[in-house]
A and B are shown apart, each in its own frame.
Chain A
Amino acid sequence: AQSVTQLGSHVSVSEGALVLLRCNYSSSVPPYLFWYVQYPNQGLQLLLKYTTGATLVKGINGFEAEFKKSETSFHLTKPSAHMSDAAEYFCAVSKGQAGTALIFGKGTTLSVSS
């Protein structure tokens, strides 16, 4: 079975500070990993994904994540937070097979203060 654990339901940073959102996964097969962002009253938008190949993945809005198999982690980072980054972030895992659904973590709410 696959699962995702997001450490910290709420993270607060100052504008310009490093953003680090933690995600650990469990998977019996090589995983595909995703980060989604949800702004208030909106649907989810894909930030980035890891399937195969390079373990450092760059996404939209300056975010990136690194797949570390030995640590079963896929943490999301951004060097300098913007006020507009305030949102809820979800880590998700799948088996990478056609038709398999995403399994989501419980989400982390990011607050950015000026």
Chain B
Amino acid sequence: DAGITQSPRHKVTETGTPVTLRCHQTENHRYMYWYRQDPGHGLRLIHYSYGVKDTDKGEVSDGYSVSRSKTEDFLLTLESATSSQTSVYFCAISESGQGTTEAFFGQGTRLTVV
């Protein structure tokens, strides 16, 4: 299995609080991605990174920010959590970009905003 660790695996938080999810990889892959998975929507891209300090927005980036200060870590922050951000969040990594090589996924973080 690819070395991807997401933390925490489960979290319950209150509306209006900031939340940070962490993705850590040991593969030294250049590209990292954050997706959210919701019933009936599949996986939707939130943000992605193509190198240290290089990030870009995805399809559903509103209310989220990311940071990548080291190759191995990609952080997703919900600036002020809302109930609509209750979801399962997946991190993925890819060596040459998902378009050209296999993407490896983490186990997911289940976030509940109450």
Contact = CB atoms under 8 A, between A and B. Distances in A.
Contact of A98 (B45, B58, B97, B106): B97
A94 interface: yes
Contacts of A96: 99-100
Contacts, number: 65
A49 B33 contact: no
Nearest to B103: A102
B50 interface: yes
B40 A100 contact: no
A41 B88 CA distance: 10
Interface string B71-112: 000000000000000000010100011111011011110000
A9 B42 contact: no
Interface residues of A, number: 26
A100 B45 CA distance: 11
B99 A32 contact: yes
Contacts of A41: 108
A72 interface: no
B42 A44 contact: no
Interface of B: 4, 31, 33, 35, 40-45, 48, 50, 58, 90, 92, 96-100, 102-103, 105-108
Given A32-B100, A90-B43, A96-B100, 7 more contacts: A32-B99, A43-B107, A98-B96, A99-B50, A100-B98, A102-B103, A106-B40
Interface of A: 9, 32, 36, 41-46, 49, 51, 90, 94-107
